[in-house]
Homo-oligomer: A and B are copies of this chain.
Amino acid sequence: MVAKISQRAARMPPSPIRKLAPFAESAKRRGVHVYHLNIGQPDIETPAVMRDRLLGIKDRVLAYTPSGGTDKCIAAFEYYYRSIGITLRPGELLVTTGGSEACMFAFMACADPGDELLVVEPFYSNYSTFAALGDIRLAPVVSRGEDGFHLPPIETWHAALTERTRAVVICNPNNPTGTVYTRSELEMVAAFCRTHSLFLICDEVYREFSYAGGEVHSALMLPQAEPFVIVVDSVSKRYSACGIRLGCLITRNREIQAACLRMAQGRLSAPGLAQVLAEGIEHLSPDFSSTMISEFERRRDVLYEGLCSIDGVFLRKPEGAFYLMPRLPVRDSEAFCQWMLSEFEYEGATVMMAPAPGFYATPGLGRNEVRIAYVLNEHDLRKSVEVLRHGLAAYASLDDKV
- A259/B10 in contact, CB under 8 A: yes
The interface centre, meaning the residue of A57, A97, A114, A166 with most chain B CB atoms within 10 A of its CB, is: A97
A46 within 8 A of B: yes
- Chain B's closest residue to A260 (CB) is B9
* Between-chain CB contacts (< 8 Å), 20 pairs: A4-B197, A5-B109, A5-B110, A9-B108, A9-B110, A15-B67, A15-B262, A15-B265, A54-B57, A55-B55, A62-B244, A98-B268, A100-B268, A126-B268, A128-B266, A129-B266, A129-B267, A243-B272, A271-B271, A273-B277
Residue from the list B5, B18, B108, B128 in contact with A67, Cβ < 8 A: B18
Q: Flag whether A65 is at the interface (Cβ < 8 A).
A: yes
In the complex, chain B residues whose CB is within 8 Å of the CB of A255: 4-5, 9
- A297, chain B: closest CB distance, angstroms: 20
* Chain B CB within 8 A of A398 CB: no
One of B12, B18, B114, B270 near A259 (C-beta < 8 A): B12
How far is the CB of A18 from the nearest CB of chain B, in Å? Answer: 6
Determine if A111 is an interface residue (Cβ-Cβ < 8 Å): yes
Within 8 A of B (CB), among A62-114: 62-65, 67, 97-98, 100-101, 104, 108-114
A359 proximal to B (CB < 8 A): no
Complex Cα distance A255/B111, Å? Answer: 27
A44 an interface residue at 8 Å Cβ cutoff?
yes
The residue in chain B whose Cβ has the minimal distance to the Cβ of A240 is: B61
Which residues of the partner chain B approach A402 to less than 8 Å between Cβ atoms? none
User: Which residues of the other chain, B, contact A253 by a CB distance below 8 angstroms?
Assistant: 2-3, 5
User: Interface on A for B, CB 8 Å cutoff?
Assistant: 1-10, 12-15, 18, 39, 41-46, 48, 51, 54-55, 57, 60-65, 67, 97-98, 100-101, 104, 108-115, 126, 128-130, 133-135, 166-167, 193, 197-199, 227-228, 240-245, 253, 255-256, 259-260, 262-263, 265-274, 277
Q: Please state if B273 and A2 are interface contacts (CB–CB under 8 Å).
A: no
* Shortest Cβ distance from A43 into B: residue: B61
- A134: chain B residues within 8 A (beta carbon): 8, 133-135
18 further A-B pairs in the complex, CB-CB below 8 A; given A3-B253, A9-B110, A48-B60 = A5-B253, A5-B255, A6-B111, A6-B115, A8-B108, A8-B134, A9-B108, A9-B263, A54-B55, A98-B267, A100-B267, A108-B133, A129-B263, A129-B266, A130-B266, A242-B269, A245-B271, A273-B277
3 shortest interchain CB distances as A-B pairs? A129-B266, A243-B272, A9-B259
